[in-house]
Amino acid sequence: MVRVIVIRHGYSVANKEAFFSGQMDVALDEVGYQQAEMVSKCVLENFTVDKVYASDLSRACNTVKPIADALGLEIIKRKDLREADVGKWHGLKIDDVVNHFPESFAKYKENPGESGFDGGETYAELQARMVAAINEIIAENEGKTVVIGSHGGTIRSWLCYWLGIPLRELGKVPHVPNTSITVADFENGHVKFERIGFCGHLDEMNSSADELR
């Protein structure tokens, strides 16, 4: 069996300023760094971690860094764990996208799972690379527990695959807040989810964090 602990990155500058960050290397903000410490404490108290992987974008790496540092582990960085390539939407706020790309944004709002981003990826492409990446990680780590730091859209596309939810029904996939924990046990081609989008470790800061989301 392989236990996979998938953590969405902490609250970032893009979350705070409400723009599409995609594959831009956007930093965590102060709240995000606090969340990273809190999720680290939760993981270290409840799991024995053997390896730490992350998207190569700094917001994902810095979220799992406290876990890796505490255990003396290297963060194994993988480009295929990145957020979606949002193409021409990179750096734009929603109002800007609505004004410049009204047709594609309307399709995105109606059916995000089966739409793509102007000049970027489709969710199907995003899902394919995320599933392939985690399958490779599973194959390399029989009998181990691994942490994977990634991104909201990427994690939800992966959940669609394993929960048997069509991408056109992406909205049915549970939300995964910043530094939420999703725990899945893989064995003989089967998966059992222990937690999806768990963020109980953030309870003490929920009142302030909610104001920033």
Give the residue numbers marked as catalytic. 9, 83
| Contact present, 45 and 111 (Cβ < 8 Å) | no
Determine the longest span between alpha carbons in the chain, in angstroms: 51
Residues linked to residue 205 through DSSP beta bridges, in sequence order: none
Q: Residue 143 is encoded by which pair of tokens?
A: 């009998």
Q: Residue 79 is encoded by which pair of tokens?
A: 């480009």
What residue type is assigned to position 46 of the chain?
Answer: N
| Contact present, 53 and 146 (Cβ < 8 Å) | yes
Q: How far is CA 50 from CA 24, 128, 197, 198, 210, in A?
A: 29, 26, 21, 21, 33
* Rounded Cα distance, 39 and 131, in Å: 24
User: 198 φ, ψ to 5°?
Assistant: -70, 135
